[in-house]
Chains A and B, each alone.
Chain A
Amino acid sequence: MKFGVVVLPGSNCDQDCFYVIKDVLKKPVRYIWHKDTDVDGLNCVILPGGFSYGDYLRTGAIARFSPVMKSIAGFARKGGTVIGICNGFQILLEAGLLPGVMLRNKGLHFLCKYVYIKTENNQTRFTNFYNTGQILRIPVAHNEGNYYIDAAGLKELRDNNQIVFRYCSATGEISDQFNPNGALDNIAGIINKKGNVLGMMPHPERSSERELGSPDGYFVFKSIVEWLENR
């Protein structure tokens, strides 16, 4: 099994992801430079956070035309496991690999803090180590995390159980009060219909060790390994 971490100009969570896979999870991992198109031999591709192409025009709008994105779209079409974190999520939206779009945070502030999210669906390859309803303490760091989709799209997400994580309180209450960025329906993470592509705004790679504040995000990666090894 091998992980790949995409490196775009402006990625800044690539090394954190690499570190978690290699040193915490202890699994093989390599970087994929954005001009490379080779994703052969990989089982999971991680699109990390950052400010690819300076967030110019719209977050993720330029990155989606990187050479590597064509390969990743093909990889995803064939059922390959893809996880986009923060800017990675924004890129997946712009690339059409996930539905919807990100608007600027409702309060207009860049948010960098711990939040709580609720696991709404643990029947995925990304969340099988969590219980349904499990609350995770996990950091966010973004300016455009205000998820938006039209009413028909939201209905589809709900009907297909594609909403994986939602912002909540420490006790799991979901309301506007515990919605850091104005995201529609408190959405923090979604999967595609096929279930092989996840996008999430919070950073599991920054919360994969107790020493760094929270171990709660670790099990996203652990779930992927579990699924890849035992499917």
Chain B
Amino acid sequence: MLKAEIYITLKRTVSDPQGLTIKHALESLGYKDLTDVRIGKLVIIKLNFKDKKRAEKEINEMCKKLLANPIIEDYHFKIKEQ
């Protein structure tokens, strides 16, 4: 069986108010050496087949159709056996 971990992040050109707020909070905790904080999403999908090529193709499709919005988001994923 395969497990896909899909990371969805805002593009660098898009401002991330959540990340900025968390950066401020971390700085107020004393962590002063932060250049940037960005928030993203992790989607974990378990697949009930073993063909990695097929998994890559289908996960790519899922990202394009639904999981990420290409206007503001980038994605990458890892597919692992489990």
Across-interface contacts of B67 in A (CB, < 8 A): 57
Contact B66 A103 (CB under 8 A): no
Across-interface contacts of B47 in A (CB, < 8 A): none
Interface string of A135-157 (1 = CB under 8 A from B): 00000000000101110000000
**Chain B facing A: main interface SS:** loop
Q: List 26 A-B contacts (CB under 8 A).
A: A57-B67, A58-B69, A61-B66, A61-B69, A62-B66, A94-B69, A100-B71, A101-B69, A101-B71, A101-B72, A103-B14, A103-B17, A103-B72, A104-B17, A104-B18, A106-B17, A107-B17, A108-B17, A108-B21, A148-B71, A148-B72, A149-B71, A150-B13, A150-B71, A182-B15, A182-B17
Across-interface contacts of A196 in B (CB, < 8 A): none
Across-interface contacts of B72 in A (CB, < 8 A): 101, 103, 148
Residue ID in chain B nearest A58 by CB atoms? B69
Residues of chain A having any CB pair with chain B under 8 Å = 57-58, 61-62, 65, 94, 100-101, 103-108, 146, 148-150, 182
Contact B66 A105 (CB under 8 A): no
Q: How far is the CA of A155 from the CA of B72 in the complex (A)?
A: 17
Q: Which of under 10, 10 to 19, 20 to 34, or 35 or more describes the interface residues of B?
A: 10 to 19
Task: Count CB-based A-B contacts (< 8 Å).
Answer: 34
Q: How far is the CA of A100 from the CA of B72 in the complex (A)?
A: 9
Q: How far is the CA of A103 from the CA of B14 in the complex (A)?
A: 9
Q: How far is the CA of A43 from the CA of B21 in the complex (A)?
A: 45
Across-interface contacts of A101 in B (CB, < 8 A): 69, 71-72
Q: How far is the CA of A185 from the CA of B71 in the complex (A)?
A: 17
Contact A108 B18 (CB under 8 A): yes
CB distance from B3 to the nearest CB of A (A): 19
CB distance from A166 to the nearest CB of B (A): 19
Q: How far is the CA of A146 from the CA of B67 in the complex (A)?
A: 20
CB distance from A217 to the nearest CB of B (A): 28
Interface string of B1-33 (1 = CB under 8 A from A): 000000000000111011001000000000000
Across-interface contacts of A182 in B (CB, < 8 A): 15, 17
